[in-house]
Amino acid sequence: MVEMWINAFAAPNAIEQIARDTEQNGWDGLSVVDSQNLSGDPYVALALAAKVTERIGLAPAVTNSVTRLAAVTASSIASVDRVSNGRARLGIGRGDSALAHLGYAPARVKQFETYLRHLQAYLSGDAVPFDEIEIPAGAAAPVDALKLADSPTESQIAWLAGKRKVPVEVAASGPRVIEIAARHAERILFTLGADETRIAWGIEVAKKARAEAGLDPDGIRFGAFVNCIPHNDLDTARDLVKGGLTIYARFSVMHGKTMGPVSPTMEKAMQSLHDAYDMHSHTRGDSPQAEVLTPEFIDAYAIVGTPERCIERLKPLVALGLDKICIGGGLRLTETSAGVEAKALLEKEVIPAMRPL
């Protein structure tokens, strides 16, 4: 059965009610933003959400490999897993707004792969060699400088040994990150839009990478962030989806080169999005980047329209092999009456229709 997840801000004073509503309204999971300059701490939010729910999965969507050491990330999500009785998952990517607000671009691919390897070791209760841990040379002296009677010789989170391992889910859009995720994650969460051809391409890249690494091509799960807004007025649906759509569509052209198969028309639209992107207006539907989105691009990259139309577009994605769909970009839905109406249509019509799949 496909899981249906929704995203939210990690708002400390609102997250408990958001979590209750998420569980009561039929969602399978709740993901929260990890962007320290724009939202609250995700692990605090997830722990609070865990204490007021019983069923839904909980995850950051997504954390990154730069702002926290792998040991800290592993300990944080494992703590959430404990208080939620095994409902946590770790969503991770190369970073976006969290790094932009520190003056940095997303993590380098090589660093990201090393971090994933370390993360999986920690979550499994295994050790990471000290000389592989990236701490700035000027930040602290080696522990040997203390001349202790004894001290650790490698880094291990001992309290995780023999316990449930939190699954790692990597958000990916380009082939190199998809390949890394295929080798090191339990699930890939594609950020490729709602186009069947692009999702099928991502799955093919992942399975090929696993086969080349000597791994079972079918030994990994697939999901996707999909911008999906149902509304009986198409123009209203388009307006509601724009802010979130700019985030996810940008991932496929973040460095100026379009990732994955695209038509010339779609490539032109994505380049326009890249050139217009203003991080000050991140997630907003009234942003400069949202203004360059054409109706044709919105209809192709996102899923908008009546509930029936949304269901019709979602089902083929599940048939490709997706078993998790994160409704991306719904962070601001409850800010308007039209957004509240769209969210209700998701919960009352779209989610129930996906249940048999």
The per-residue pLDDT for 335 is 86
d(CA 105, CA 110): 14
CA distances from 135 to 123, 132, 138 (A): 20, 9, 8
Confidence of residue 116 (pLDDT cuts 50, 70, 90): very high
Q: Higher pLDDT residue, 269 or 28?
A: 28
d(CA 168, CA 123): 9
Mean pLDDT along residues 291-311: 95
Cα of first residue to Cα of last residue in the chain, in angstroms, is 5
Burial class (CB in 10 A: 0-12, 13-18, 19+), 152: exposed
Q: Higher pLDDT residue, 257 or 202?
A: 202
Task: Decide if 35 is inside a domain.
Answer: yes
Q: Look at residue 357 and tell me whether its pLDDT is greater than 90.
A: no
Task: Decide if 266 is inside a domain.
Answer: no
Mean pLDDT along residues 109-135: 97
Residue 99 burial (CB count, 10 A):
18
Q: How high is the mean pLDDT of the chain?
A: 95
Q: Look at residue 7 and tell me whether its pLDDT is greater than 70.
A: yes
Q: What is the CATH number of the domain that holds 36?
A: 3.20.20.30
Q: Facing residues of 155 across strands?
A: 128
Residue 175 burial (CB count, 10 A):
16
Task: Decide if 299 is inside a domain.
Answer: no
Least-confidence region, from 10-19, 193-202, 328-337: 328-337
The per-residue pLDDT for 333 is 84
Mean pLDDT along residues 135-143: 91
Confidence of residue 330 (pLDDT cuts 50, 70, 90): low
Dihedrals phi, psi of 234, to nearest 5 degrees: -65, -40
Task: Decide if 294 is inside a domain.
Answer: no
Percent of residues, the chain, with pLDDT higher than 90: 84
Q: Look at residue 157 and tell me whether its pLDDT is greater than 70.
A: yes
Domain count, the chain: 1
The boundaries of the domain holding residue 90 are 3-134+155-223+306-354
Task: Decide if 144 is inside a domain.
Answer: no
Least-confidence region, from 9-23, 106-120, 326-340: 326-340
Mean pLDDT along residues 325-351: 90
d(CA 59, CA 223): 14
Task: Decide if 162 is inside a domain.
Answer: yes
Task: Decide if 94 is inside a domain.
Answer: yes
Mean pLDDT along residues 181-194: 97
Confidence of residue 328 (pLDDT cuts 50, 70, 90): confident
Confidence of residue 22 (pLDDT cuts 50, 70, 90): very high
Task: Decide if 204 is inside a domain.
Answer: yes
